[in-house]
Amino acid sequence: MKIIDLSLPIDEKAFEVHKVEIERVTHKAGVEKFNRVLMGKSLSGKIKYALGKRIVKKEDLPDEEFLSLEIVHAPVHIGTHLDYSFHYGSRSEGRPSKTAEDIPLEYCYQDGVKLDLTHKKPAESITAQDIETALQKINYKLKALDIVLLHTGADKLFGSPKYFSDYPGVDISAIDYLLDKGIKVFGVDTMGIDRPYRFMLKEFLEKKDAKFLYPAHFYGRKREFIHIERLAHLENLSAFGFKVICFPVKIKRTGAAWARVVAII
């Protein structure tokens, strides 16, 4: 058995549109934070702490080290993650939208299929015809619950501003094609399923038509689907013959959730 990591990290050093911060409490500083938090639960404890009293001293610890602690402040759309219908709108298919914690886990461990779409340019959209052509090239017929991975190669831009501006989007026709085949989860190695902001906003401002803003995402209000964003390393996969695992982290009432997505061969 071989496991291939298909995920990108949450990295505070990488270029991101939204703020990402990881507070890193070192082993040496950990004992001080431990005392401050524990003693800070009462007024008397706060006073004693301010006067220099400590419940645990560094000298009490092996190697004078406590436990490390990392505190992540980041949107759920940073790093590899799954989007569900609550992200797209308050209602989907006429019902209240579902949050990421509602994603059926059986959808998240299925046969995987990789489609080569590396020829698509940033201004373009991946259409139903592109999906069908890619399937014909690998001589594969989709079956219900397959997890379809759309390989564009855009993950190689991660960490730079181009990651947010140079990738193809997914056309509604492609989403319909996949859903009509019984697909519940599909994934992209781009930062989103819609075309980059620079194309959407330009067309919206020129034509004053809302249909140019996030059409793929907003389509989730009409038809329910789950998609993975920010996949990576899809070039390491064959076209099929592998399993995909994409279990979302269980976070209450969110439209998306982080996932460590892997392929098992």
Which segments within 86-235 are labelled E, that is strand?
91-92, 95-96, 109-116, 125-126, 147-151, 169-170, 185-188, 226-229
Residues in contact with 59: Cβ distance below 8 Å, sequence separation at least 6, in sequence order: none
* 234 in a structural domain: yes
> What range defines the domain where residue 149 resides?
3-9+76-264
Q: Are residues 159 and 213 both part of a single domain?
A: yes
d(CA 148, CA 180): 13
Q: Which of 101, 83, 81, 84 is nearest to 93 (CA)?
A: 84
Instruction: Using only the alpha carbons of the chain, give its radius of gyration.
Output: 22
* 14 in a structural domain: no
* 15 in a structural domain: no
d(CA 210, CA 257): 27
The residues pairing with 110 across neighbouring beta strands, listed in sequence order, are 244
Q: Are residues 133 and 64 both part of a single domain?
A: no
Q: Which of 208, 249, 265, 244 is nearest to 6 (CA)?
A: 244
Q: Are residues 145 and 64 both part of a single domain?
A: no
d(CA 127, CA 178): 11
Helical spans, DSSP H, in the chain:
27-39, 43-50, 85-88, 128-138, 172-180, 197-207, 215-218
pLDDT at 170: 98
* 16 in a structural domain: no
**Number of domains present in the structure of the chain:** 2
Supply 65's token pair: 């080290």
Q: Are residues 80 and 140 both part of a single domain?
A: yes
- Of 30, 46, 73, the position where a domain reaches its end is 73
d(CA 257, CA 222): 21
3 state DSSP class of 181? coil
Size of the chain in residues: 265
Q: Are residues 132 and 30 both part of a single domain?
A: no
Which residue's structure tokens are 């990591």? 5
* 117 in a structural domain: yes
Q: Are residues 234 and 167 both part of a single domain?
A: yes
pLDDT in tens, the chain (265 residues): 999 999 999 999 999 999 999 999 999 999 999 999 999 999 999 999 999 999 999 999 999 999 999 999 999 999 999 999 999 999 999 999 999 999 999 999 999 999 999 999 998 999 999 999 999 999 999 999 999 999 999 999 999 999 999 999 999 999 999 999 999 999 999 999 999 999 998 888 898 888 889 999 999 999 999 999 999 999 999 999 999 999 999 999 999 999 999 999 9
Q: Are residues 60 and 121 both part of a single domain?
A: no
Q: Are residues 62 and 104 both part of a single domain?
A: no
Write the CATH number for 108: 3.50.30.50
Q: Are residues 55 and 93 both part of a single domain?
A: no
